[in-house]
């Protein structure tokens, strides 16, 4: 039997570079994981170089995701920009039930971290630019992916010209933004009819590294510590409830928000630019595509209530890299290899989707009496240690 390094050398010699469509956080992490193993990779990214670096969208990184970035050597750069979450405080508007999770109860240095999308993209791009086996093509917009028994091909536009590349393995990591119509791939989508409003707010009191998850009759909201004094806010609710909030004056917006959130961090002093996006749950239903695999948000999109989506995407990248490294050269991109990858991801993805959907449904149900049960549930949950332990493990490491 051949050793792993022999496999890798042969894989490089026998196969064309692995193609990754989409150089967002998930695609870029996969490229880095593969490059660190000496594998050749071509990344096609639609945006201009540096265009993502100003994205202030806050990503909630689990403890397990931080460990992936640490192994890749990019965390050292990011550590000063990330804000640790040491406590998660869960409450419900209009009830006394509440629950708290503390990192020190689980022997973890933090429960998670908050990081801006822009900082993460810049660090990953910097690390990739130092990898000799990676060719990162910016402003390359994939328009079509096709696959046959032996290969998959990507047609893309770059500087006004159309190009086609093929490989035994093409990875779609476009965030589910562009290439939905590919033969052999079907998706199941559930529209929540809810939007998420995202922005940053500053409060009167320090955050003390506490993240707040609050369930209101309109929908859940998360307030994540971000930087020395600020919080990133994700506020969800029906579209008709959220949209008017975008055009309120800052003072009126902060008043409404304070009314829903309560007094835990004092008054809210200022708010940055607000934007909203529609929420949906989607997942791949059938994947019958030899030589093509889908990861990250392109494979599954979740409600942001529990901050699971991005972390599940990073675990997709880690698991796919392990499957690629373990595959023999002639099996790279084969149905057998891709079936093994999909099997390795099934329970984590399903768990993330079900857990998120469960939270959204139980806390969005306004039927008389259910709300009392919920707050009793939160209080009870606060004293049941194994349940909390399970939850922390799940949020930190997936399945
Ligand atoms: C508006 C918005 C706000 C969000 N806010 C939050 C939040 O507050 N907190 C949170 O935890 N999560 C949030 N999310 C989810 C989070 O951003 C995703 O979980 C995460 O970005 C997934 O990473 P990804 O690499 O799979 O996809 P993406 O980050 O979407 O990256 C996909 C990449 O593919 C590129 N691309 C797309 N189409 C093509 C193409 N045809 N050819 C080449 N390249 C292409 C894109 O330019 C992009 O760089 C938000 C998502 C959206 C859409």
In the 3-class helix/strand/coil scheme, how is the chain assigned residue by residue? CCCHHHHHHHHHHHCCCEEEECCCHHHHHHHHHHHCCCCCEEEEECCCCCCCCCCCCEEEEEHHHHHHHHHCCCHHHHCCCCEEECEEEEEECCCCCEEEEEHHHHCCCCCEEEEEHHHHHHHHHHHHHCCCCEEEEECEEEEEEEECCCCEEEEEEECCEEEEEEECCEEECCCCCCCCCCCCEEEEEEEEEEEEEEEEEEECCCCCCEEEEEEECCEEEEEEEECCCEEEEEEEEEHHHHHHHHCCCHHHHHHHHHHHHCCCCCCEEEECCCEEEEEEEEEEEEECCCCEEECHHHCEECCHHHCCHHHHHHHHHHHHHHHHHHCCHHHCCCHHHHHHHHHHHHHHHHHHHHHHHHHHHHHHCCCCCHHHHHHHHHHHHHHCHHHHHHHHHHHHHCC
The pLDDT of residue 373 is 47
Residue with CA at minimum distance from ligand 1 atom 4: 57
Residue with CA at minimum distance from ligand 1 atom 20: 310
List the chain domain ranges. 4-58+120-188+284-358, 76-116+192-278+368-397
Residue 381 has pLDDT above 80, yes or no: no
Compute, in angstroms, the gap from residue 297 CA to the centroid of ligand 1.
7
| Best residue for ligand 1 mutational test, from 19, 135, 158, 175 (most atoms within 8 Å of Cβ) | 175
Residue with CA at minimum distance from ligand 1 atom 1: 277
Q: Which residues line ligand 1 (CB under 6 A)?
A: 21-27, 44-47, 57-60, 141-142, 173-175, 177-179, 198, 234, 277, 296-297, 304, 307, 309-310, 313
Q: What is the pTM of this model?
A: 0.88
Please report, rounded to a whole number, the percentage of residues in the chain having pLDDT higher than 70.
Answer: 82
Residue 291 has pLDDT above 90, yes or no: yes
Residue 12 has pLDDT above 90, yes or no: no
Read off the pLDDT band of 358 (50, 70, 90).
low
Q: How does pLDDT run across 131-168, given as a tens digit for each residue?
A: 999 999 999 999 999 988 899 999 999 999 999 999 99
Compute, in angstroms, the gap from residue 5 CA to the centroid of ligand 1.
33
Read off the pLDDT band of 46 (50, 70, 90).
very high
Domain 4-58+120-188+284-358, architecture per CATH: 3-Layer(bba) Sandwich (3.50)
Residue 327 has pLDDT above 50, yes or no: yes
| Best residue for ligand 1 mutational test, from 22, 65, 304 (most atoms within 8 Å of Cβ) | 22
3.40.50.620, 3.40.50.920, 3.30.300.30, 3.30.9.10: CATH of 76-116+192-278+368-397: 3.30.9.10
Residue 182 has pLDDT above 80, yes or no: yes
| Average pLDDT over all residues of the chain | 85
Residue with CA at minimum distance from ligand 1 atom 11: 59
């Amino acid at each position: 039997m051949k050793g792993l390094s022999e496999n890798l050398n042969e894989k490089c010699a026998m196969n064309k570079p692995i193609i990754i469509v989409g150089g967002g956080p998930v695609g870029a992490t996969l490229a880095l994981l593969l490059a660190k193993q000496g594998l050749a990779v071509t990344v096609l990214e639609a945006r201009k170089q540096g265009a993502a670096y100003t994205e202030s969208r806050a990503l909630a990184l689990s403890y397990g995701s931080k460990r992936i970035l640490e192994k890749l050597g990019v965390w050292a750069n990011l550590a000063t920009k990330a804000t640790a979450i040491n406590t998660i405080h869960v409450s419900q508007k209009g009830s006394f039930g509440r629950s708290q999770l503390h990192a020190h109860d689980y022997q973890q240095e933090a429960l998670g971290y908050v990081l801006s999308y822009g900082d993460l993209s810049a660090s990953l791009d910097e690390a990739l630019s130092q990898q000799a086996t990676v060719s990162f093509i910016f402003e390359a917009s994939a328009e079509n992916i096709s696959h046959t028994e032996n290969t998959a091909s990507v047609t893309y536009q770059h500087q006004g010209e159309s190009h086609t590349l093929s490989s035994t393995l093409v990875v779609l990591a476009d965030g589910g933004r562009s290439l939905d119509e590919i033969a052999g791939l079907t998706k199941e989508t559930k529209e929540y009819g809810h939007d998420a409003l995202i922005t940053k707010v500053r409060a009167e009191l320090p955050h003390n590294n506490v993240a707040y998850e609050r369930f209101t009759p309109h929908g859940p909201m998360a307030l994540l510590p971000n930087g020395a004094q600020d919080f990133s806010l994700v506020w969800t609710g029906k579209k008709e409830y959220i949209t008017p909030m975008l055009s309120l004056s800052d003072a009126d917006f902060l008043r409404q928000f304070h009314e829903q959130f309560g007094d835990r961090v004092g008054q809210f002093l200022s708010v940055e630019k607000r934007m909203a996006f529609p929420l949906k749950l989607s997942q791949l239903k059938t994947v019958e595509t030899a030589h093509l695999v889908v990861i990250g948000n392109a494979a599954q999109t979740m409600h942001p209530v529990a901050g699971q989506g991005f972390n599940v995407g990073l675990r997709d990248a880690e698991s796919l890299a392990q499957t690629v490294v373990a595959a023999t050269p002639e099996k790279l991109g084969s149905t057998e290899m891709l079936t093994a990858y999909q099997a390795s991801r099934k329970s984590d993805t399903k768990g993330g989707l079900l857990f998120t959907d469960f939270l959204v449904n139980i806390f969005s149900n306004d039927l008389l009496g259910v709300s009392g049960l919920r707050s009793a549930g939160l209080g009870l949950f606060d004293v049941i240690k194994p349940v909390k332990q399970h939850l922390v493990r799940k949020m930190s490491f997936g399945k």
